[in-house]
């Protein structure tokens, strides 16, 4: 094995993100020794991220119709309406399948179908899909519904003139618990133009997945591999999935991609042009396993759960994938049409015993270490090693700047004696960190086996309440006193050596609202205006008015004003005017001149 491959694997195991070029290097390896090292590295990373637990779900797959407007070159499932082999289940048939699934212990229904233009209710596509959801969720609210791919969301939105967000929110509110990440095929538009030219493009698929995360709907992710795509295009697909997940997590969305599922191409019954171009009917297991391992290494901590397709690889091949980075064996399905109609030989139904069974391809040490656990709902990505992975310099700089900004803010609150805000911050910190059963309590229990006394909870909430009451008291005591009704008009005026008018009040009101210096200047800097008192509450814009407007105006060469005398005041305006007049007269008598 070359040093280059060793370096790549070391980087992946240390938690670093591989580049697409490095992924291509791994996919191009042909040496049995190098491939074994890639397998072992993927298996080791799987152990680091999710341990030795293999999960599965008891579920039923329901394909409600294969009538579809699109003509994907790989699809043996689709039919035109009225064509031999076409089907469209009615609501009663769907309910019957769900009922049978529940009787067999299912906790999940996976439902997808073709894009049937006639599948409408009251003239709309969305009401029809909501009807399907209600048909399952009304009698069986406990079932997790994993339904309707990004392609179906785009189809509904187009037919009903809705946004993707509107469609997803309606499906979610009706009862969909997660979205299948199918219709991805290969996220490279050059490949999609051959495989599925009528399908949504790469950008739209990613947009819909991101919108689902933003709206709190988890999704899976998939790749259809082993047909016309190149290793570079496979890595471009994985890079876009990783980037989408990073964006979701960085934005703090309430949901994310829960797992990655590799779907090797089955071409036995696929349309002849693509079948001839690919040149084989069944997946090449070795290629699928190598791509499985590279996907685990490339997606790393960002997508921790990986699942093979036993329908496409067979249960033996899927179990072997557990040694190549996978940690989830999928579901029992009970029935499946899309892949089986393409000629897959893996079957369409598995029992719980099949999912938990030990395949001969697992040697004794591995088989004895792995624990098979039924999962009741869609996988959630577990805590990963992201906390221990190396941080980039940009991330460190950004974090440092945020901490410094927060510390400066706290210092400013203390300097300005903003006790109300500081007390509220103390209350929030108490609730975040010291709540019974919170961060500190868990730390003490996990690290030192210390349990907080029973009376802690009542004492804690008493302290929180007292701090809040004190904060309210401080707010009341520091609240500025309201202006007296008698001088309200005077406090809203710019007073000069002329009688007070309603126009004066309006001038200053405009200054307070708009900071419109020009309007105020035009009103007060007349030829006979010599001095005045600028009235108003703190922060209303008096200083800005002088600095940005009046003083520059007086500095103009053609200014006709001999001088201006201005004082700030917020009380006793008439006394202030009299004192200012006396000072001005005295200054003139003494031979002085009030300068600009």
Nearest to 258 by CA among 290, 229, 228, 218: 218
Phi/psi for 54 (5° steps) reads -105, 125
- Alpha-carbon distance 202 to 187, whole Å? 5
Question: How far does CA 476 lie from the centroid of its chain?
Answer: 40
- Alpha-carbon distance 125 to 234, whole Å? 34
- Alpha-carbon distance 340 to 260, whole Å? 21
- Alpha-carbon distance 243 to 264, whole Å? 23
Model pLDDT, residue 442: 66
| Angle value at C-alpha 24, between 280 and 322, nearest 5 degrees | 65
- What angle do helix axes 20-27 and 285-299 make, rounded to 10 degrees? 150
Helix (H, G, I), strand (E, B) or coil at 372: strand
Dmax over CA atoms of the chain, in Å, equals 114
Helix (H, G, I), strand (E, B) or coil at 65: strand
Model pLDDT, residue 515: 46
**Distant-in-sequence, close-in-space partners of 483: CB < 8 Å, separation ≥ 6:** 491, 537
| Angle value at C-alpha 112, between 107 and 118, nearest 5 degrees | 135
CB 221 within 8 A of CB 257: yes
pLDDT digits (tens), the chain, 596 positions: 445 999 999 999 999 999 999 999 999 999 999 999 999 999 999 999 999 888 888 899 999 999 999 999 888 889 999 999 999 999 999 999 999 999 999 999 999 999 999 999 999 999 999 999 999 999 999 999 999 999 999 999 999 999 999 999 999 999 999 999 999 999 999 999 999 999 999 999 999 999 999 999 999 999 999 999 999 999 999 999 999 999 999 999 999 999 999 999 987 666 767 767 776 778 899 999 999 999 999 999 999 999 999 888 988 899 999 999 999 988 877 765 454 454 444 444 445 555 555 433 344 333 334 445 555 555 544 434 433 344 445 556 667 777 777 787 788 778 777 777 888 888 788 787 777 766 676 666 666 666 667 777 777 788 878 888 887 887 777 665 544 443 444 333 343 334 445 555 555 555 555 444 455 555 554 444 444 555 555 555 555 555 555 555 555 666 554 444 444 544 555 555 556 555 545 554 454 433 33
Model pLDDT, residue 467: 83
pTM given for the model:
0.62
Per-residue 3-state assignment (H helix, E strand, C coil) for 315-339? HHHHHHHHHCCCCEEEECCCCCCCC
| Angle value at C-alpha 13, between 9 and 19, nearest 5 degrees | 55
């Amino acid at each position: 094995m070359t040093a280059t491959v060793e370096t790549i694997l070391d980087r992946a195991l240390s938690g670093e993100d591989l580049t697409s070029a490095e992924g291509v290097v791994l996919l191009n390896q042909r040496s049995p020794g190098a491939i074994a090292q890639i397998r072992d590295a993927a298996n080791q990373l799987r152990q680091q991220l999710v341990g030795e637990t293999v999960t599965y779900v008891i579920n039923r797959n329901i394909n409600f119709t294969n009538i579809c407007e699109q003509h994907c070159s790989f699809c043996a499932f689709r039919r035109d309406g009225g064509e031999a082999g076409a089907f469209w289940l009615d609501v009663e048939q769907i309910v019957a399948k769900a009922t049978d699934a529940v009787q067999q212990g299912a906790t999940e229904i996976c439902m997808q179908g073709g894009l049937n233009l006639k599948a409408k209710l009251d003239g709309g596509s969305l009401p029809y899909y909501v009807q399907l959801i209600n048909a399952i969720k009304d009698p069986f609210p406990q079932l997790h519904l994993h339904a309707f791919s990004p392609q179906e969301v785009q189809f509904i939105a187009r037919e009903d003139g809705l946004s993707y967000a509107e469609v997803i929110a309606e499906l979610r509110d009706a009862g969909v618990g997660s979205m299948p990440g199918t219709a991805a095929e290969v996220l490279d538009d050059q490949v999609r133009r051959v495989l599925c030219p009528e399908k949504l493009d790469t950008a739209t698929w990613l947009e819909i997945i991101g919108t689902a995360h933003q709206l709190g709907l988890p999704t899976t992710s998939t790749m259809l591999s082993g047909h016309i795509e190149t290793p570079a295009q496979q890595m471009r697909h994985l890079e876009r999935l990783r980037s989408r997940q990073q964006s979701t997590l960085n934005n703090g969305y309430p949901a994310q991609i829960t797992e990655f599922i590799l779907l090797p191409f089955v071409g036995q019954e696929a349309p002849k042009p693509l079948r001839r171009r690919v040149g084989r009917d069944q997946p090449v297991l070795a290629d699928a396993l190598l791509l499985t391992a590279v996907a685990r290494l490339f997606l790393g901590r960002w997508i921790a759960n990986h699942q093979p397709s036993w329908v496409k690889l067979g249960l033996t091949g899927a179990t072997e994938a557990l040694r190549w980075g996978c940690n989830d064996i999928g579901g029992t399905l009970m029935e499946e049409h899309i892949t089986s109609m393409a000629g897959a030989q893996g079957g369409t139904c598995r029992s719980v015993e099949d999912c938990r069974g030990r395949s001969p391809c697992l040697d004794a040490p591995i088989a004895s270490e792995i624990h098979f656990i039924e999962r009741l709902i869609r996988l959630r990505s577990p805590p990963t090693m992201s906390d221990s992975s190396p941080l980039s310099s940009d991330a460190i700089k950004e974090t440092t700047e945020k901490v410094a900004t927060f510390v400066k803010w706290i210092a400013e609150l203390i300097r300005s004696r903003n006790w109300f805000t500081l007390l509220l911050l103390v209350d929030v910190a108490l609730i975040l960190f010291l709540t019974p059963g919170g961060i500190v309590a868990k730390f003490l229990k996990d690290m030192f086996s210390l349990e907080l006394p029973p009376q802690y909870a009542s004492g804690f909430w008493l302290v929180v309440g007292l701090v809040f009451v004190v904060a309210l008291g401080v707010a009341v005591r520091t609240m500025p006193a309201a202006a007296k009704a008698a001088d309200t008009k005077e406090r809203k005026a710019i007073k000069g050596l002329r009688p007070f008018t309603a126009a004066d009040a309006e001038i200053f009101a405009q200054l307070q609202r708009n900071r419109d210096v020009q309007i105020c200047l035009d009103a007060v800097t007349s030829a006979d205006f010599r001095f005045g008192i600028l009235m108003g509450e703190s922060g209303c814009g008096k200083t800005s008015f002088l600095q940005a407007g009046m003083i520059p105006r007086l500095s103009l060469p053609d200014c006709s004003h001999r001088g201006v005398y201005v004082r700030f005041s917020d009380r006793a305006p008439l006394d202030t005017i009299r004192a200012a007049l006396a000072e001005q007269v005295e200054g003139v008598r003494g031979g002085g001149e009030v300068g600009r």
